[in-house]
Structure 1
């Protein structure tokens, strides 16, 4: 059942009536089937005589009392809200109900491990799902302590925000009861319960105030061997010390558990003292250094929330960006300082900023401080504006105000508002005091307007090789015309003994449509002039003609990884804006990928190579370009260092873009061992990637798939088998996979994702064409039958994005025109997908025209893929 859609007006009105809530919650998790018993005693103060409501999404309410008065559940509750009338100054509400587990990653999620038959539970209460478990005023500014009493099977572990008590066993029922102390006063969306026979490890971290903070790590038993407790504990220990020093505020809670949970919708969630993580961060096989870096960032992201977001929390969801942007920026800074991944700011430039700019150019773009009218608005604003653009803008603010001043301001904000709720205005006030800068105009330009600026360096020479004039021109899209003040650097690079080395750098403020750069005047024209050197600001960058030519020819020779990231990001923006043919971008990546030394940069370049081949290279030539790109990647994989990170990434990229019978033979020979690359193990994950790739090419039979599943008959293995089946280039199979995801509401979140992922792997993409009319006809039905999160998984997963065709764009546009009253989040998803489709069509047109002139003149420098 979808939860009620709380509006901001309702939340503000209720906060004016209700105060000081506290909850005693008793749960029985031993019932058979898919339901559990919940009893809530809620105590709160209120305006005498007033009326309000409390959220409680239930299967059935059995007892309902308010201040000793028995209420009729049928009259007072609609299944998601309970009406509360004639309130007293001090109130006590008792609700006894039957509630339902979910398999969607919302509320209280239930999962049974196929390996050992054990059941695991966990909660996910963001954005407002706590009411699926107990009756609660489910909004962030009504913080409360919760005292849980939980009965569960005796061999389970039960965790919450407070420390776990010693359970009391009931020998007759083989159950135990955990009577927790009241947890800290926190917002309902970061309350947590985790229950099941989890494997566990324990450690501690030293706090600046002299405490030893207990640390816990928990996984399913069948995944215990992948836990890496030393890595997880060491990262938290270093991060806790870093944040305490940076903020000047001790760790605010009594413990810190990290729990890997199945079928999770997010990367992780910052529940107070009980952080839940996606099991994808348990590495069952060897992964790239980039993936390990990403895990470190996520661990430190969630840890930073304990201060920023949990101790000090937004009043309403319009300040969601404050939580997520700050954590994204802070975790990147911490990763660069306390882990082995010191080059993480290059990842930030390549990854976060690029995705932010892409989101910022969609029709659904919004200011960082978004208008959030209701919970439906929140659900779709967990996007790259909220996380990545916000973090990019904070990095710009740090460059403008100075890191020391910024950290002092944040520390003052945390100290002043700790344990409570605050707003953007509260944070800006402390930052103004610390930095001595007025931030009103900065906030209006950066936080309250949408869109990304484009910066171009225009250089004039005097004929003797010296720069006569230089200026940075700033432009903005007509739909979002704001020109902003930027603090940025310009770097001059020259080829010196085969390397592009920086020979000069100047930092300046720019504002308006044109800003002179007088520090460049009179200097020799360098081989490369890089705008936004060191990636200080958030903007798209365009290089002058000479610089771009140097970058294309010598990207791998640029020593600075952040500089390489800025150049490659500029080229990628140009592809998406139909200024650079996608084939030229493919050539750029393939020319330099073999010499890229940074794992994350290599991985992101390969991901964009795959996207360019799938979306932006002209269809008439795509098979040629993809075949030669695949050959080149296989050749470079064969030449990569034995057992190196580059070898692993190149082979995995090859599995994703393999497109010819010769490529399929290579994949098969790797599977059966007739071809081997020294140092490359065909482990569980790589075996599945090879199996899925061969299935997508139409050469992997049932026996091959069954063999892979026999080696990995786990929850993950079964999901990957579903992906492989749905990936097969078979019209009937594609239609069956489509209809299963579209119509089967019993599918779990991960299973729906797995099938949809295979369905989208369509070679050729025309295999998806028969389901296009069915998709648009069923959109509102698919949306209405599911929770918002599951509906988004299905609608996004089944949009025919691989089919880049004008008729698909026309159908999508027609649907939007003819369904003006469709739910706003649904219309947003469709409009975003349409915008990306239209962008791809324009990019393909440019690539087609460029390729007609150059196809016979260029080669990608690989060799034909040869399984021998």
Structure 2
């Protein structure tokens, strides 16, 4: 399947302009397909020329251009030629389209809780032609008029406010000019709650079976939505102008959310079951604020081509955290950013697949998707924070307002954005742009102290760019030191050379912990000195600044990843500090990001004891916390995920030993069941009882995952056969099989599936596409088999020419993690646990 190239997009944009779309979708055609009719009005600057239209249909029944019929058989490779254009043109395409199971296009899912079906449109990145014929590129924006015929009892949402015109018919209000990748329709028997704020109609919807959960959680979501609107209206000086603001929590969604103007879709995994931690609330609130920020950056002002995708995502990533910190209860939002989002970005920037924040080559649409990662999000947001440090916040905000006003409802790129910043600041930013936006890689920053007794007599900051990617990045950040839970040393500085003195630190007290970039203002790998590393297990939890603790955790994790720090130190720090950590976001980041991966870095014989120590940290917090408190929930979750104590887990599975608030916690019960399955201590009858008690989409996925988790040859074979050959599985079901298969078992049991990965996963590209393919290829990768043979097979696979881009990127990134784990095991083969 071809992918639109930048040259083709520029040529088409030079030739045509799109005046508007009229789209009709008939969703009452059965379970497999729907009918689509698209009428497109467009102009041509050179009458007599030809162009092409994008259409990805099961069957095209008719195509007419200015009243002339075009043979549907001429549609090839998702395109049809439109010859002999006039100055003003109308093309009409009638087609039968296929519902998707991959989370792209018009995805259809059936809720096992009640048998009800739901569909939602995900047009990003190039999936719009599988819903309606279109000129599918971001710089051919146009207004849309959409009508929908839906099954009886369904409701419909889309980019325009919905009017029901008949028992099964709906009309959506004419939209502002939209890029094709924003167009969506969401239909089904939704449970919907409505509100209003500042003249903007609001709604939140989820599956009917989730109504009770939705009603309990919607007030908090509405509150954050309203606070975010007020924040952005004040900050940008331009009001939201896409009509209603509907938010739908949809099943089997590939990402966290999608910023469709007026109709944002979120993953329904954010309609939480069981206990809800503050970290979960912050994460969901951040997603709400992130997608709303896109209404300005991305929706009102849209990138010209996919190589500027970073500007959409970096901007929304930064603005959402700023919005939460300044305008909601989540004042610690930037601590969470450092603990979780930046850790994701640092891993991406260390990998061989790293790329510049801006200007990474995107010769076609598919290649651009490979840059949709932690660099475009977290690193880009951090770079915007450095831009603010460089030019000042007032100039930054003025530049943002200028940029939005100049390109409202149109397109813009990097040059346009930087020009607005230069006008607002009065500074030439050419060198800054090249250093921070145009060069890949992460600088290493460290501070070295000279001392006399307990006083600093000299201080040097060093800054080193990767040798293979030289750069000259100015870093504005701080240095802080802590002893006994007090800050005893501090200085602000800008590192503009590879080595420079910090006279402000002279005379200050020598700390037990020395943390560069303690306020987490810059993007850099922080290298901690030996004394600080040694003191971390006992001292880290007492550091009073959340950002400094998040930086220290990231630095420790980076040290293990790069082979400089013994992974036992990381395990020991979790065991001794996690239970005393006060920030729920840091706790969640460590538990969800570091703990599952740590077992690959430790010598295999030491893994059980290390995880018992980690589980003990969770038990410490659980026993100390008040009943029903967030601390108790966090501790219970860590125990459930890390413990191999079959007796304890067996009691918890029945609610014995748990407080009243957790006895009926469905998510905690499944976490306990997973740990029991991991050691083959969960029988079929018990699993069936759990599944019978949770006949939901989530329960169905947990059943799949647990069956694959069992460390038996039969369980692994069944999981792999389903993953590799069952064409009826959804994107989520495929990932569940993969996660379970690799989640347990000794190398002897898992080793046969290393070769099968490279034989069976690349062909999945024939039925799974885009983000879904990348998720499956990543989850199925055999990096838990930490052996040189696995790495050798990965390198052999990368020499192939038949790999889809998404599979290749997954192999590159997962091979890098495997290489890091092998390096750590080689560098630290034995020794005492810290």
What corresponds to 1:800 in structure 2? Answer: 782
Partner deviation per Cα, 1:836-862 (whole Å, 9 max, x = no partner): 10111111223323x2xx25xx6xxxx
Residue 378 of structure 1 pairs with residue 371 of structure 2: no
Aligned counterparts of 2:617 and 2:248: Cα–Cα separation in 1: 41
- Residue of structure 2 aligned with 1:214, choices 201, 206, 218: 201
Shift of 1:612: 4.9
Q: Does 1:733 align with 2:715?
A: yes
What is aligned with 1:650? Answer: 635
Q: Indicate if the aligned counterparts of 2:202 and 2:244 stay in contact, CA closer than 8 A.
A: yes
Kept in 2: contact 1:27–1:150 (CA 8 A): yes
Q: Distance in 2 between matches of 1:629 and 1:147?
A: 56
For the residues of structure 1 that align with 2:506 and 2:777, how far apart are their CA atoms?
A: 54
Aligned to 1:863: none
Contact kept? 2:719, 2:738, Cα under 8 Å: yes
Aligned counterparts of 1:529 and 1:748: Cα–Cα separation in 2: 48
Q: Report the CA distance between 1:782 and its aligned residue.
A: 2.4
CA distance in 2, matches of 1:313, 1:670: 51
Matched residue, 1:308: 297
The aligned residue for residue 364 of structure 1 is 353
- Please give the secondary structure, in 1, of the residue aligned with 2:507: coil
Q: Which residue of 1 aligns with 2:169?
A: 177
Query: Match for 1:333 among 308, 319, 322?
Result: 322
Pairing of 1:412-423 with structure 2 (within 5 A): 412-423=402-413
Q: Structure 1 residues 155, 710: CA separation in 2 closer, same or farther (over 3 Å shift)?
A: same
The answer (yes or no) to whether the contact 2:162–2:172 under 8 Å persists in 1 is yes
Match of 1:616 in 2: 601
Alignment match, 1:585? 570
Find the counterpart in structure 2 of residue 408 from structure 1.
398
Partner of 1:784: 766
Match of 1:690 in 2: 672
* Displacement of 1:638: 2.5
**How far 1:161 moved relative to its partner?**
0.9
Match of 2:819 in 1: 838
Deviates more, 1:307-316 or 1:508-517: 508-517
Partner of 1:864: none
**Which whole-Å CA distance do the structure 2 matches of 1:419 and 1:68 have between them?**
31
Q: Give the C-alpha shift of residue 179 in structure 1.
A: 2.7
1:43/1:609 Cα in 2 relative to 1: closer, same or farther (>3 Å)?
closer
Q: Which aligned pairs between 1:664-679 and structure 2 lie closer than 5 A? A: 664-677=646-659, 679=661
**Is the 2:578–2:617 Cα contact (8 Å) retained in structure 1?**
no
Aligned 1:419-568 pairs, distance under 5 A: 419-461=409-451, 463-495=452-484, 499=485, 501-568=486-553
Q: Structure 2: which 5+ runs fail to align?
A: none
Question: 1:55 maps to which residue?
Answer: 54
Is the aligned partner of 1:9 residue 2:7? yes
Q: Which residue of 2 aligns with 1:157?
A: 155
How do 1:711-750 residues align onto structure 2 when only pairs under 5 Å count? Answer: 711-750=693-732
Q: Which moved more, 1:626-635 or 1:602-611?
A: 626-635
Q: Matched residues in 2 for 1:154 and 1:789: separation?
A: 32
475-484 vs 415-424, greater mean Cα deviation: 475-484
Match of 1:625? 610
1:733 Cα deviation from its structure 2 partner: 1.3
Deviation at 1:687, TM superposition (A): 1.3
- Compute the TM-score of the two structures, normalised by the length of structure 1: 0.93
Match of 2:122 in 1: 124
Return the offset for 1:765.
4.3
* 1:480–1:68 distance in 2 versus 1, CA, 3 Å: same
Return the alpha-carbon distance in structure 1 between the equivalents of residues 325 and 133 of structure 2: 42
Q: 1:527 to 1:693 in 2, by over 3 A?
A: closer
Q: Distance in 2 between matches of 1:845 and 1:430?
A: 50
Q: Which residue of 1 aligns with 2:273?
A: 284
In 1, Cα distance between equivalents of 2:152 and 2:797: 54
Counterpart for residue 242 of structure 1: 231
Deviation (angstroms), 1:269: 0.6
Within 2, Cα distance between the matches of 1:569 and 1:116? 44
Q: 2: distance between equivalents of 1:669 and 1:509?
A: 55
Shift of 1:280: 0.6
Relative to structure 1, the CA distance from residue 716 to residue 583 in structure 2 (aligned partners, 3 Å threshold; closer, same or farther) is same
Q: Which moved more, 1:387-396 or 1:604-613?
A: 604-613
The CA RMSD measured in Å over matched residues stands at 1.7
Counterparts of 2:417 and 2:176, CA distance in 1: 23
1:81 aligns with 2:79: yes
Instruction: Say how many residue pairs are matched.
Output: 830
Kept in 2: contact 1:671–1:682 (CA 8 A):
no
List runs of 5+ in structure 1 lacking aligned partners.
Answer: 170-175, 207-211, 859-868
**Which TM-score applies when normalising by structure 2?**
0.97
Q: More deviation in 747-756 or 625-634?
A: 625-634
SS, match of residue 223 in structure 1? helix
Question: Comparing 108-117 with 668-677, which one deviates more in the overlay?
Answer: 668-677
Rounded Cα–Cα distance in structure 2 between residues aligned with 1:503 and 1:794: 48
SS of the residue 1:53 aligns to: strand
Residues 63 and 96 in structure 1, CA contact (< 8 A), matched pair in contact too: yes
Q: Is the 8 A contact 1:455 1:539 kept in 2?
A: yes
- Does the 8 Å CA contact 2:537/2:577 hold for their aligned counterparts? no
CA distance in 1, matches of 2:805, 2:692: 44
Q: Contact 1:469/1:521 (CA < 8 Å) preserved in 2?
A: yes
CA-CA distance at 1:635 after TM superposition? 4.2
Question: Contact 1:637–1:646 at 8 Å: present in 2 too?
Answer: yes
Task: Provide the C-alpha distance between the structure 2 equivalents of 1:198 and 1:464, rounded to a whole number of angstroms.
Answer: 68
Q: Where do 1:744-783 residues align within 5 Å?
A: 744-783=726-765
Distance 1:156 1:250, change over 3 A: same
Q: CA 1:620 to 1:53, structure 2 compared with 1: closer, same or farther past 3 Å? A: same
1:218-265 Cα distance to aligned partner (Å, 9 max, x none): 111111111122112111111000001011111122110001111111
Displacement over 4 Å in runs of 4+: none
Partner of 2:67: 68
Quote how far apart the aligned CAs of 1:404 are. Answer: 2.2
Q: Distance in 2 between matches of 1:605 and 1:787?
A: 31
Q: Which residue of 1 aligns with 2:687?
A: 705
Structure 2 counterpart of 1:31: 29
Bigger Cα displacement from structure 2, 514-523 vs 578-587: 514-523
Cα drift, residue 489 of structure 1: 1.1
Structure 1: how far apart are the matches of 2:684 and 2:200?
51
Q: Identify if the C-alpha distance between structure 1 residues 753 and 391 changes in structure 2 by more than 3 Å, giving closer, same or farther.
A: same
